[in-house]
Amino acid sequence: MEDDTMPRTTFLPVVRELARCYQAFERLSGRHIRQLGLTAGQFDVIATLGGTDGMSCRELGDATLITKGTLTGVLDRLAERGLIERCACSGDRRSITVRLTPAGQALFDNSFDAHLAHLKPAFDQLAPDELAETGALLARLREALESEAPDCCEIQNN
């Protein structure tokens, strides 16, 4: 919905700030994740599977921020490191469940809360109502972007 009285580029500062915010978050988060010997995608899988009995690849793809094309490679590398295992479901042998191994669960137990603690000082700089408002506005923006390009959005956030 474009207002004819506004220049068409009024949203560009928002795009720039959104990109800069994402880059800053990736720098802050990535520094800690690299200290754990993981990539962001690997940490996303470990964090998503932690404390669960496992998920199907489809559920895992929907629950993480990893694109479908990248997920298989991330899972392969985590399996090679002995952090996850793929198991055939008892009800449907075509469906695979991915779950943490004991080593993967130990990594989750030792790293997830530490990672949140690493991020917390940055988020503590905003008041709770500012965080809630920011989250709501970002969700609205994501929904607007997805509504304009529904066929190309691989990453789904539930």
Tell me how far apart the alpha carbons of residues 55 and 63 are, in angstroms, rounded to a whole number: 9
The dotted CATH code for 32-118 is 1.10.10.10
Contact criterion met (CB below 8 Å) for 34 and 111: no
What order of strands is seen across the sheet that includes strand 96-100? 55-56, 96-100, 84-88
Is the Cα torsion angle 156, 79, 50, 108 positive or negative in sign?
negative
Task: Write down the residue that tokens 């191994």 correspond to.
Answer: 101
Nearest partner of 45 among 14, 72, 5, 16, judged by Cα = 72
Angstrom CA distances, 93 to 56, 97, 110, stand at 12, 10, 33
pLDDT tens, the chain, 158 aa long: 555 665 668 899 999 999 999 999 999 999 999 999 999 999 999 999 999 999 998 899 999 989 888 999 999 999 999 999 999 866 666 788 999 999 999 999 999 999 999 999 999 999 999 999 999 999 999 999 999 887 655 544 43
**Coil, helix or strand for 96?**
strand
Residues contacting 63, CB < 8 A, separation 6+: 48, 55, 158
Boundaries of every domain in the chain: 32-118
Nearest partner of 134 among 13, 17, 10, judged by Cα = 17
Residues contacting 83, CB < 8 A, separation 6+: 42, 46, 100, 101, 103, 104, 107
